[in-house]
Structure 1
């Protein structure tokens, strides 16, 4: 990749690029048919064979015209730019979308599906969350972005696609370069997450410091945590939730989010053969962290509702923290990790 200068203007186009390699093959085959027909006009042969070869040549000419017409360069639908003080997405007919301002603290979280064919860049600040869709357009594209994809956090396919269309997606190569530029301006951005709870609570993960609604957890020191799931019914409707219980010293909280409709705890058949070793390790790590055993609903006063896309990134941060010895804590009932006996 190119070196990064803080005073440089960067621009990454949006929209899936045409598959130029397949069109080159089509053009080569079509030209071969034309050449074969031209050769048939110069060599002595039976009239019927000559007519067949002329027909092949005409078909090749038609295909050449179609391929060349399809090869006309397609204008990008928009672009993401890094210039001056912000990362901005520009799209025709829409107001510019500020993904991040370099003078304001922000975080970037890379989310991807199991196969690492779709991804999202989540830009979080204390006031908003913005997403940028990424599509892996080819094996070459995946190779150029292998570091980004290997550290991506696994989410269901539907969540990795997000709400943006293909025309608003950027290639993985460009997304990896965007991350390098963002890290130049904000070196700690990939270790930060800013979220707002369902009742307006502030949640900030900044390196080894996790603040949740005024409660602080030092992830460089031992703590207890575990993931579980529970359900609650309102009338005839039951909702399944995922939860992450955290306790350090006398501070305790439970992060809660709806379970995704698509729950995967194993790699799809044949997926391992198509993935790099680093990507396999990342996906298997995430699948392990996703596993949750059923349990009782936690007390409402301990709950903090968070967006489900960020439950696994927060569990990853907790998993890197040292585990506390249970000797200094009162026992915990098996059916409710948030209730002390």
Structure 2
């Protein structure tokens, strides 16, 4: 199922939106998180913090200036500018608090609140669901993707400086999107970017994980034909085929290409075999252009794991009736689960040159 394919359907009991901005619903208390415009977090901090230097400069001028006009006029102008910056930042923060668009989570589901209209239960928490974290190689961007029978739901955040260094626990559990900027986009059901401040993003992820700790090892997807494609940490289901991840199996990654007229498409495949069951998961290969690693990533443990799982030799295209399409966003989570399963042999078959 394509991650951008339609908006999740509204299910479950709607939340109530109180006058003070709180969202409430049945059962457990709800936590709400306001969406921001991409880059808005840094802008708000700059407008608020920019007032202090102006006040300090005004005090310096007041202390050292000899000319009476400069000693009075310049500090007055600087203080007035500082007050204007502070007031503008306060108004913007008040406006943000009054804004209705955002996300709420409670014991019943993950809700998306559009700018107008009732909240939508985009991830019912009473049904099996998965939560996958995807990060950039530079470790300056992260997207949380929830998979459920309702479809896929994306929330993103951009990390800078201390905000990035303070969220190492999230990066340890995330998978790296190398050369795939599209995987790091986060659009709400209304088609607009759905971004949170780093602190809110982390709080949302931890709140959902607290409700269902096993969600980080689960995928709830479907293939192009609508057949189930699920992973729960112990079992991988591909249509009617089931693979026990606690029992020995064989798997291998590979790449292949196919021509379509004058164009050539490059795919990544993951072949899985256990007993009489065999499946080949296929996804488009993201860009293989050179990419940069940031200082925070600098070949950390999870990045080394992901680079190892990405390595794949070329093979001939597999038979079309054996292929099962999977969104490339979930190739690494599936391969990571397969990599932890016991191998049927110590010398797995190698890909053909």
Unaligned runs of 5+ in 2: 1-26
* TM-score, normalised via structure 2 length: 0.79
Q: Give 1:75's match in structure 2, choosing from 88, 96, 113.
A: 96
1:56 aligns with 2:74: yes
Question: Equivalent residue for 1:88?
Answer: 111
For residues 127 and 30 of structure 1, the distance between their equivalents in structure 2, rounded to whole angstroms, comes to 51
Between Structure 1 and Structure 2, how many residues are aligned?
315
Distance 1:332 1:190, change over 3 A: closer
> Contact (CA 8 Å) 2:255, 2:269: kept in 1 or not?
yes
1:182 aligns with 2:208: yes
> Contact (CA 8 Å) 2:128, 2:220: kept in 1 or not?
no
Question: Equivalent residue for 2:254?
Answer: 228
For residues 305 and 351 of structure 2, the distance between their equivalents in structure 1, rounded to whole angstroms, comes to 27
Q: Select between 67-76 and 235-244 the one with higher mean Cα deviation.
A: 67-76
Question: Equivalent residue for 1:160?
Answer: 184
Structure 2 residue matching 1:81: 3-state secondary structure: strand
Computed over aligned residues only, the root mean square deviation of the Cα atoms, in angstroms, reads 2.8
Q: CA deviation at 1:288?
A: 1.7
Q: Give 2:167's match in structure 1, choosing from 145, 164, 168.
A: 145
Q: Matches of residues 227-246 of structure 1 in structure 2 within 5 Å?
A: 227-246=253-272
Higher-Rg member (1/2): 1
> Contact (CA 8 Å) 1:37, 1:55: kept in 2 or not?
no
For residues 28 and 172 of structure 1, the distance between their equivalents in structure 2, rounded to whole angstroms, comes to 24
Question: Equivalent residue for 1:290?
Answer: 310
For residues 350 and 161 of structure 2, the distance between their equivalents in structure 1, rounded to whole angstroms, comes to 49
> Contact (CA 8 Å) 1:265, 1:290: kept in 2 or not?
no
Q: Matches of residues 4-83 of structure 1 in structure 2 within 5 Å?
A: 7-15=28-36, 16-17=40-41, 22-23=46-47, 25-39=49-63, 45=66, 49-54=67-72, 56-72=74-90, 73=93, 74-76=95-97, 77=99, 78-83=101-106
Question: Equivalent residue for 2:238?
Answer: 212
Unaligned runs of 5+ in 1: 1-5, 336-341
Distance 1:167 1:298, change over 3 A: closer
Q: Could you list the per-position Cα deviations for residues 77-124 of structure 1 after superposition, in whole angstroms to 9, with x for gaps in the alignment?
A: 422112341110112135533231121111111111112222221111
1:301 aligns with 2:324: no
> Contact (CA 8 Å) 2:57, 2:78: kept in 1 or not?
yes
Q: CA deviation at 1:153?
A: 0.8
* TM-score, normalised via structure 1 length: 0.82
